[in-house]
Amino acid sequence: MKRINIIIAALLIGITACVDLNQEPKTSLPGEAYFTTDAQLQTYIDNLYLDVFTTHGSWSYGNYGIDANSDNMASTSASSIYRPADFKVAQSGGDWSFTYIYRCNYFFYFVLPKYEAGAISGNTALINHLVGEAYFLRALAYFGKLQSLGDFPIITEILQDDMATLTEASKRQPRTEVAHFILEELDKAIALLNDNVAKTRITKKAAQLLKSRVALFEGTWLKYFKGTPFVPLGAGWPGATAHPGYQFPKGSIDAEIAFFFDEAMAAAKAVASTTALVANNGVLPQSLSDPENLFLKMFGDVNLSGYSEVILWRQYNQGLGITHNIPSYTTAGCAKTGLTRAYVDNFLMDDGSPIYASGGRYQGDDSLNCVRVNRDGRLQLFLKVPGDVNYYQAGSPPERCYNVIEPLPDLVLGDAEKGYNTGYTLRKGYNPTFAQMNVNNGSYTGCIVYRAAEAYLNYIEACYEKNGSLDADAKDYWVKIRSRANATSVTWASIEANTINKTVIASEIPNDLAAYSAGAPLTDPVLYSIRRERRMELLADGMRLFDLKRWRALDRLVNTPYTVEGCKFWGPKFHVYTINAGGAVTVARPIDNEAYFTGVVSPSSAGLYVRPYEIKPTDPVAIQGGLKWKMGHYLNPIAVDHFLITSQNGTDADTSPIYQNPYWPIQSEANATE
């Protein structure tokens, strides 16, 4: 809570349109003497880019692996959020931090007076844009707090090192106030930003897309948590004592819900109506002579500036050592991160019908190659199966191209780089033609941060949640997303007939946690189909837990553990298993030699499908019978020290103006009570 001495930039390092996210400018100049030129503003803002965006890092599957915290994907161990005994209140640290917010406030404290007085020299349009970026970045920081903590202090000033002042500022504001503040910040950003800058910088469209995301998040959160401790004025809301007589800004929670859905629709439409999706020609290239598929290439290209759908992306630089390893991982098991059986089964057929209503066109899952036949175009492009070509440039394969031809997934291999996990493995992020991308952590393909498809989806969902029906724009956006997925002619009538009318929610429940909200299954096939479309389109985009939480879809795990499965490993057609012995010899072992797989693959007695979190009976998820949940996990607990620091005597947490999140005690190492 102490005032932080922010070090800002004096040495200007090659200011360009692209942000170097790995260099931190430094200077001893105070803010009063600094911030006098557009270059100085940009240097400081460039530094703020460092800590707020989640992008690919070294030695991981990057953004594409984030959804391993959900029912979409699995890694080698389940997140503690699904292991109630291991998700605990910390003594210190956690999400209750103001460091980044302080850095934003520091900028505004010194810049706004000079900006309003016209005392900053340089390009006026650039100066306006940079101030807009600062509003965006502060809004994004607060959105992170809204998601993880809900109610949160709104601090926009530089606070003095005075305990009374700091304690008063620590008072949490109701989440609706925080959400309104974020939208107001983004409105300021939108008014100042433009789209005439490189897409490696924040643009007006980026702010509009983020606004649609924030508004949709809060609208659905208020709707599905209405009446609970997780929303203001709900039964047991811990902020009731701190905010007696609180009234929603719009008068009622229902008016708030309608407001946020309206805001989500308007912001999403501003992007979707002006931004085309990248075309999908339906081709999975297997050689240099095959036509490129721009939709596939968009996720593994070096320069993403020319892709209409990409709104914001991070650029990497081999010369500066700003690299990652994703293309190499995609030639094997994607850093032991794979899709779940539930996710693969949830994908529709290529005509839009569910697999259980395919009229015999679904080929089953006895082998990996069968799964992809006649399926949705996104699954056909991004799910690897044995025999696929992972690298087809002429000459010898590069250093870290593990499999030129995709093999049977090596579930036995423990190697984090080469091993497989669920057997259902993605090619998202691969680069099959450029040898320099397949070197030891030396890849420099771009990382998408925001893409326009989300705006299409946000509009569709907000429109239906608000009105109970889809308007012409929502139908048009859905047709465009589905058309791009299948690369064939799609109409609203075909979506209605093949997807919505053939959907049986009871048949979807085993495959999709989002078939539930507030502990009860959905009853509306349109709403469910909207959620499923979002799930298919945002394949490995890192949005799944975000969605499951705001839909309150995880209640069902409180009393009914959820089993994560992969491919049908013990099935009748998975007869041989390919193992590289010594890196040179390929040995075929009969699958009935089950003893060979003991301790490395879940046993056949657990089921035909591999269970990546239940390989051994001693695995934490196996002990608890699957993924589990407590209601308190929808928000993170606040660490104990933050209560003590703001208490009256430094030892009695009950005298702190901060209140704990629902179902979490103020006790280090304690678990949620519900």
**What is the per-residue pLDDT across 196-207, written as a single tens digit (0 to 9) for each?**
999 999 999 999
Judge whether residue 456 has pLDDT over 90: yes
CA distance 574 to 142: 49
Average pLDDT over residues 280-300: 96
What pLDDT score was predicted for residue 12?
A: 20
What pLDDT score was predicted for residue 583?
A: 39
Judge whether residue 28 has pLDDT over 50: no
Question: Is the pLDDT higher at 373 or at 27?
Answer: 373
Average pLDDT over residues 612-635: 97
pLDDT in tens, 304-353: 999 999 999 999 999 999 999 999 999 999 999 999 999 999 999 999 99
CA distance 52 to 44: 14
What pLDDT score was predicted for residue 592?
A: 60
Question: Is the pLDDT higher at 577 or at 354?
Answer: 354
What pLDDT score was predicted for residue 581?
A: 44
Structure tokens at 47: 């530094």
Cα torsion at 530, 533, 539, 545 (round to 10°)? 20
Beta-strand pair 516-517/520-521:
antiparallel
Judge whether residue 158 has pLDDT over 50: yes
CA distance 522 to 61: 33
HSE-CB of 251 using CA atoms within 13 angstroms: 3
What pLDDT score was predicted for residue 573?
A: 61
Judge whether residue 590 has pLDDT over 70: no
Please report, in angstroms and rounded to a whole number, the separation of the first and last CA atoms in the chain: 30
What pLDDT score was predicted for residue 27?
A: 43
Residue 162 — very low, low, confident or very high, per pLDDT cuts 50/70/90?
Answer: confident
What pLDDT score was predicted for residue 367?
A: 86
Check residue 406 and report its DSSP letter: -
CA distance 431 to 426: 13
What pLDDT score was predicted for residue 577?
A: 47
Judge whether residue 22 has pLDDT over 70: no
Judge whether residue 145 has pLDDT over 90: yes
What pLDDT score was predicted for residue 29?
A: 56
If you search the block for the tokens 């495959």, which residue do you land on?
511
Average pLDDT over residues 27-34: 69
What pLDDT score was predicted for residue 31?
A: 74
Question: Is the pLDDT higher at 668 or at 649?
Answer: 668
What pLDDT score was predicted for residue 488?
A: 79
Check residue 533 and report its DSSP letter: H
pLDDT in tens, 47-85: 999 888 989 988 889 999 999 999 999 999 999 999 999
Average pLDDT over all residues of the chain = 91
pLDDT in tens, 403-435: 999 988 888 888 888 899 999 999 999 999 887
pLDDT in tens, 361-393: 999 998 898 999 999 999 999 999 988 999 998
Residue 574 — very low, low, confident or very high, per pLDDT cuts 50/70/90?
Answer: low
Average pLDDT over residues 124-137: 98
pLDDT over 70 percentage in the chain: 92
If you search the block for the tokens 């407590």, which residue do you land on?
630
Judge whether residue 301 has pLDDT over 50: yes
What pLDDT score was predicted for residue 66?
A: 97
For the chain, the C-alpha Rg in angstroms (whole number) is 25
The 3-state DSSP class for residue 121 equals: strand
Q: Which residues pair with 37 in a beta bridge?
A: 121
Give a three-class secondary structure readout of 444-499: CCCEEEEECHHHHHHHHHHHHHHHCCCCHHHHHHHHHHHHHHHCCCCCHHHHHHHH
What pLDDT score was predicted for residue 260?
A: 98
Structure tokens at 328: 């190499």
Helix runs in 278-392, H state only: 294-297, 326-329, 341-346, 368-371, 377-382
pLDDT in tens, 492-513: 999 999 999 999 999 999 999 9
HSE-CB of 516 using CA atoms within 13 angstroms: 17
The 3-state DSSP class for residue 413 equals: coil
Average pLDDT over residues 16-41: 61
Nearest by Cα to 602 from 611, 591, 594: 611
pLDDT in tens, 171-197: 999 999 999 999 999 999 999 999 999
What pLDDT score was predicted for residue 153?
A: 97
Judge whether residue 598 has pLDDT over 50: yes
What pLDDT score was predicted for residue 8?
A: 23
Question: Is the pLDDT higher at 22 or at 560?
Answer: 560
